[in-house]
Amino acid sequence: MAQTTSWNWIIAPDVGNLTKLAVLNLMHNNITGSIPPEVGNLSNLSKLLLNGNKLTGQLPPELGYLSELELLQIDENNISGPIPSTFQSLNKTRHFHMNNNSLNGSIPPELGRLGSLIHLLLDNNDLSGELPPELSNISTLYVMQLDNNYFSGSIPPSYFTIPELAKLSFRNCNLTGSIPDLSSLNELKYLDLSRNNLSGQLPSKIPESITTIDLSYNQLNGVIPEAFYSLTSLELLILRNNLLDGNFTGSELQHNGFINASSLLILDIQHNNITGFTTGALLQLSNVTLRLFGNPVCSESLAPQSVCTDFSGSYSNISFPETVISLSNDCSSANTCDTSRNSEVLYGLLLHSGACQCAYPLIVGYRLQSPAFAIFQPYVDQFQKYLSNKLEFDIYQVNVSSFKWQPGPRLAMKLKLFPNKSTKQFTQAEVDKIYTKFATSDIDYDEVFGPYELLYFSLGFPYNVSRPFSGRRKSLSSGVIAGIVVGSVIFIILLAMAAMHIITKYGAYYGAIYKAAPRQKKCIKVAGVKDFTFKEMIKATNNFDKSTQVGQGGYGKVYKGILADGTVVAIKRAEKESLQGDKAFYTEIEMLSRVHHRNLVSLIGYCDDECEQMLVYEFMEGGTLHDHLKLNSKQPLDFSTRVQIALGSAKGILYLHTEADPPIFHRDIKSSNILLDANRRAKVADFGLSKLAPTGDEGGYVSTVVKGTPGYLDPEYFLTQKLTDKSDVYSFGVVLLELLTGMQPITGGKNLVREVNLAHKAGMLLSIVDHRMSPYLADSLQPLVHLAISCCKDEADSRPSMAEAVQELESIWQQMHPGQSATTSETFTSTVSDAKSNKGLTYNYPYISSDIEGVGLVSGIVPDVGPR
Q: Is the pLDDT of residue 441 over 50?
A: yes
Are β-strands 556-562 and 568-574 bridged in parallel, bridged antiparallel, or unpaired? Answer: antiparallel
Q: Are residues 58 and 193 in the same domain?
A: yes
Q: Catalytic residue, from 531, 668, 677, 770: name it.
A: 668
Which amino acid appears at position 37 of this protein? P
**In which band, very low, low, confident or very high, does the pLDDT at 511 lie, cut at 50, 70 and 90?**
very low
- Same domain for 575 and 636, yes or no, is no
Helix ranges, 379-519 (H): 380-390, 428-439, 490-506
Evaluate if residue 493 carries a pLDDT over 80. Answer: no
Over residues 666-673, the mean pLDDT reads 90
Least confident interval from 2-16, 230-244, 568-582: 2-16
User: Given a cut of 50, is residue 461 above it in pLDDT?
Assistant: yes
Q: Please give the C-alpha separations between residue 254 and each of 207, 251, 554, in angstroms, as whole numbers.
A: 19, 5, 72
- pLDDT score recorded for residue 334: 46
pLDDT band per the 50, 70, 90 thresholds, residue 374: confident
Better-scored residue on pLDDT, 274 or 836: 274
* pLDDT for position 232: 79
Which of the residue ranges 370-374, 466-470, 535-539 has the most confident prediction, judged by mean pLDDT?
535-539
In this structure, the answer to whether residues 647 and 794 fall within a common structural domain is yes
Task: Indicate if 437 and 376 belong to the same structural domain.
Answer: yes
Instruction: Tell me the pairing of strands 750-751 and 746-747.
Output: antiparallel
pTM reported for the whole predicted model: 0.53
8 Å CB contact between 648 and 683: yes
Note the pLDDT of residue 340.
Answer: 60
The DSSP annotation for 525-585 comes to --TTSEEE-HHHHHHHTTTT-GGGEEEE-SSEEEEEEE-TTS-EEEEEEEPGGG---HHHH
Across 102-116, 310-324, 534-548, 756-770, least confident range:
310-324
Shortest CA distance to 439 belongs to which of 119, 51, 79, 122?
Answer: 51
Residues 677 and 557 in one domain: no
Total domains in the fold of the chain: 4
Q: In one letter, which amino acid is 544? A: F
Q: Indicate which CATH number applies to the domain containing 556.
A: 3.30.200.20
pLDDT of residue 346: 54
Three-class SS state of 400: strand
3-class DSSP state for residue 589?
Answer: helix
Among 19, 61, 73, smallest CA distance to 41 is for 19
* Residue 389, pLDDT above cutoff 90: no
Q: Of the ranges 227-241, 494-508, 846-860, which is most confident?
A: 227-241
Least confidently predicted of 475-484, 488-497, 694-703: 475-484
Residues 676 and 815 in one domain: yes
Local confidence band at 336 (pLDDT 50, 70, 90 cut-offs): low
Quickly state the pLDDT bin for 399 (edges 50, 70, 90).
confident
**What pLDDT is stored for residue 68 in this prediction?**
93
Q: Give the CATH number for residue 116.
A: 3.80.10.10
Q: Which residue has the higher pLDDT, 864 or 128?
A: 128
Per-residue model confidence (pLDDT) at position 548: 94
Per the structure, the complete domain to which residue 105 belongs is given by 9-227
pLDDT bin (cut points 50, 70, 90) of residue 296 is: very high
Residue 751 lies in a domain: yes
Classify residue 860: in a domain, yes or no.
Answer: no
Where does a domain end: 590, 618, 646?
618
Q: How far apart are CA 412 and CA 414, in angstroms?
A: 7
With contact defined as beta carbons under 8 Å apart, do 669 and 728 qualify?
A: yes
Lowest-confidence range among 4-8, 39-43, 383-387, 731-735? Answer: 4-8
The stretch 130-146 carries a mean pLDDT of 94
CA distance 430 to 435: 9
Cα 645–chain centre separation: 40
| In a shared domain, residues 610 and 657 | no
Whether residue 279 is contained in a domain is answered as no
Task: Give yes or no for a cis peptide into 462 (omega within 30° of 0).
Answer: yes
pLDDT at 306: 83
Report if residue 750 sits inside a domain: yes
Which of 23-32, 85-94, 348-357 has maximum average pLDDT?
A: 85-94
In a domain, 240, yes or no: no
511 backbone φψ class: left, alpha, beta (φ>0; ψ -120 to 50): left
Per-residue pLDDT at 320 = 39
What is the pLDDT at residue 818? 78
In order of 323, 421, 700, the CA distances from 336 in angstroms are 18, 17, 62
Q: What is the CATH number of the domain that holds 451?
A: 3.30.70
Residue 730 has pLDDT above 90, yes or no: yes
Between 409 and 171, whose confidence is greater? 171
Strands 612-618 and 452-458, by their bridges, are: unpaired
Lowest mean pLDDT of 269-283, 395-409, 685-699, 786-800, name the range.
Answer: 685-699
State how far the alpha carbon of 521 is from the alpha carbons of 389, 515, 651, 819, in Å: 20, 17, 37, 53
Q: Is residue 692 pLDDT above 60, yes or no?
A: no
275, burial (CB in 10 Å: exposed 0-12, middle 13-18, buried 19+): middle
Is residue 627 flagged as an active site residue? no
Q: Are residues 35 and 99 in the same domain?
A: yes
- Is the residue at 593 inside a domain? yes
Q: Report the half-sphere exposure of 729 (CA within 13 A, side-chain side).
A: 25
**How far is 741 from 865, CA to CA, in rounded Å?**
10
* Angle at the Cα of 291 from the Cα atoms of 287 and 292, rounded to 5 degrees: 145
Q: Of 193-197, 502-506, 621-625, 651-655, which gets the smallest average pLDDT?
A: 502-506
Inform me whether the pLDDT recorded for 213 exceeds 50: yes
- Residue 670 annotated as binding site: no
329 and 431 in a single domain? The answer is yes
- pLDDT tens digit string along 74-93? 998 989 999 999 999 999 99
635 domain-assigned: yes
- Cis preceding linkage at 662, omega within 30: yes
Confidence of residue 858 (pLDDT cuts 50, 70, 90): very low
Residue 426 confidence (pLDDT) above 90: no
* pLDDT(569) > 50: yes
Q: What percent of the chain has pLDDT over 70?
A: 74
The CA-atom distances, in angstroms, between 213 and each of 55, 190, 670 are 35, 6, 68
Closest CA to 101 of 171, 142, 148: 148
- pLDDT band at 581; cut points 50, 70, 90: low
Q: Identify the bridge partners of residue 398 per DSSP, sorted by sequence position.
A: 417
Q: How many CB atoms lie within 10 A of CB 264?
A: 14
**H-only helix segments in 440-489:** none
Q: Which of 321-325, 488-492, 554-558 has the lowest mean pLDDT?
A: 321-325
Q: Domain holding 748: CATH number? A: 1.10.510.10
pLDDT of residue 229: 78
- Answer whether residue 484 is part of any domain: no
d(CA 831, CA 418): 73
Distance CA 441, CA 427 (A): 22
Q: Are residues 597 and 631 part of one domain?
A: no
Residues 715 and 735 in one domain: yes
DSSP letter at 444? P
Strands 452-458 and 398-406: unpaired
Ordered DSSP codes for 238-252: E--SSEEEEEEEHHH
Burial of 23 (0-12, 13-18, 19+ CB in 10 A): middle
- Residue 94's contacts (CB-CB under 8 Å, 6 or more residues apart) are 70, 71, 116, 117, 118, 119, 140
Q: What average pLDDT does range 5-19 have in this prediction?
A: 76
**Position 518 pLDDT exceeds 50:** no
- Which of 579 and 259 is assigned the larger pLDDT? 579
- What is the reported pLDDT for 356? 63
User: What does the alpha-carbon distance between residue 40 and residue 31 come to, in Å, rounded to a whole number?
Assistant: 18
Mean pLDDT, the chain, whole residue set: 77
Please check whether residues 644 and 588 belong to one and the same domain: no
Which of 434, 463, 492 is where one domain is finished?
A: 463
| Single residue among 227, 257, 289 that ends a domain in this structure | 227
pLDDT at 560: 94
Kindly tell me if the per-residue pLDDT of 352 is higher than 80: no
The rounded percent of the chain whose pLDDT value lies above 90 is: 35
